[in-house]
Amino acid sequence: MDPIKDIKKLAKKGLRPGGSPTRRGKKRVEFRLRINLWKVLIAFFLILFFAPFLVSVLEFQRTETKLDTSQALLDIKEGKVKEVLVQDSKLILTYKDDATKVTTKEGSESFAELLEKSEISPTSITYTVADQSLTKAVGEVLGILLPLILMAVFFFFIIRAQTKGAQDIFSFGRSRAKLFAKGKQDVTFDDVAGVDDAKKELEEIVDFLKNPAKYRKIGARTPKGVILFGPAGVGKTLLARAVAGQAGVPFFSMAGSEFMEMLVGVGASRVRDLFQNAKTSAPSIIFIDEIDAIGRQRGRGFVGGHDEREQTLNQILVEMDGFTPNDNVVVIAATNRGDLLDPALLRPGRFDRRVLLDMPDKEGRVAILKIHARGKKFGKGIDWERVADRTVGFSGADIENMLNEAAIYAARQDKSEINMSDVEEAATKVKLGPAKRKLQSREDKKITAYHEAGHAVVTHALPMMDPVHRISIVARGMSLGHTLIPPAADRTHETRSRMLQQITAMLGGRAAEKIVFDEMTSGASNDIEMATRLARAMVVDFGMSSLGTNFSGHAGES
């Protein structure tokens, strides 16, 4: 016997090894009891409701053997009837051949009087008069109680629904933040990679939450808030949860849009309730994701300065100003649109620290790959350094999605482990989209092949361009083919010469079409769009034209 398997079997049943129920088992039993109670109540009311119909059906079936009163008296007189059961006005005749027939009499006269009127001696037939007083009483009581019970149940549910609705109305102003209790947050700094500088900034927050007296002793003012800037998928939410897990404190998480409702004043009320709950659970962390939903600069809306969003923002500012040194509450916010935030939100004393999270470099991508590879079966030929080179520009979320797609791709092919080709296919899928088995004519395939070859040849001939990694005429996304040129290294700056070579490589496909077919196709539309966007950015944003740094707009403007 395997004791571990036995314990697992007991746990599935909600029992401890000794046989006593666990907390989950008790909840399961209570849930089953509630379900069984409802089943019993529903069955009871169904029986009460359908009982009259069942009785009517039975009565109808029995009236099929109904006999005329005159014929019944004649059969009694002729001695064909063995006994008679009298139930009020109903007469149930049992014949000597065990047949049963039913007839009726007038309710005002007794069965003996009926026999005497028909010149039949009452002693010539055996009959029994049933006492129907109890049955009548029960029927009358049920006839009165059944409608009352049904009405009581109906009004009970109506009142309950109204009470719940009233509670929902009064709960509009309550915070809807998700609470991760102390010790329940299993994410720590060991689960976060690629943002080492941000982790160092937040380690002091963790130390403050664990040892606040150390900072107050030397007169240091502990930070009230930290705001995380960065593009989507770089790990802002994960890092905030890691701070709570590392510090071992309660974690209140809420999105900025969850503060807003149609009712005026609800957002401000939810802010007050959230901060009050956090102070009660101190030391604690409040995390507001996508704070730009409520923290945008005031005075830019069409409604003016008194709309619901601005009231909610004002309440956040008031609550953060109201923190005392002993509150031990830290507010962490995240956004990918820091340029939209109100300056009052970012001043010292509110969000004291601003932490920028950027796309991970090669070392960070290797660390992220190893974290997300936990729990997955990879072959021995996996080269994480090569995968990191292949995923330049990928965020942490992109890398996690890529490894998950690789696992799905391997499982779809009934493989026992994930190999390098699965990871390559997954990386291409994440970057360019899934492959489409789109039917193309031979002529279209030929045009696509020469077009992509033109990109590859021009790229290879340009000295500043990165090496070509892959050429394909398999349709992905909106394109019929692709030439994959991943960056050979992480770059912070781009030179004017390299940008011009990028534009040249983008137009290599169109050049190949003109050389080979002496014709132009619509396949270069996306290349022309990207080249135009880059050229406009060089002139408008970077001031790289012959006119110098004079510009009058942004790259997104025509």
Range of the domain at 503: 435-540
Catalytic residue check, 452: yes
Buried/exposed 157-187: b ≥16 CB within 10 Å, e otherwise: eeeeeeeeeeeeeeeebebebebbeeeebeb
Mean per-residue pLDDT of the chain: 76
Residue 21 predicted with pLDDT over 60? no
Average pLDDT for 512-533? 90
Q: What is the mean pLDDT of residues 326-335?
A: 80
Per-residue pLDDT tens digits for 189-225: 888 888 888 888 888 888 887 887 887 888 877 778 8
**Partners of 334 in the β-ladder:** 228
**Tens of pLDDT, residues 105-124:** 776 677 777 777 777 777 77
Domain end residue (candidates: 304, 337, 356)? 356
Residue 252 has pLDDT above 90, yes or no: no
Q: Give me the catalytic one of 319, 424, 452, 513.
A: 452
Question: Could you tell me if residue 84 is inside a domain?
Answer: yes
Stretch 331-339: mean pLDDT = 84
Same domain flag for 253 and 369: no
Lowest mean pLDDT among 10-24, 251-265, 281-295, 382-396: 10-24
Q: Are residues 421 and 444 in the same domain?
A: no
* Dihedrals phi, psi of 306, to nearest 5 degrees: -125, 20
The gap from C-alpha 514 to its chain's centroid, in whole angstroms, comes to: 51
pLDDT at 380 exceeding the cut of 80: yes
Q: What is the pLDDT of residue 532?
A: 93
Number of domains comprising the chain = 4
Of residues 7 and 501, the one with the higher pLDDT is: 501
Residues 188, 285, single domain; the answer is yes
Domain with residue 493: its CATH number is 1.20.58.760
**313, 415: one domain:** no
Which pTM was predicted?
0.60
Beta-carbon count within 10 A of 450 CB: 17
Q: Is the pLDDT of residue 405 over 80?
A: yes
For 232-243, what is each residue's pLDDT tens digit? 888 888 888 888
Residues 220 and 301 in one domain: yes
Amino acid at 341: L
| Mean per-residue pLDDT, 80-88 | 78
CATH number at residue 402: 1.10.8.60
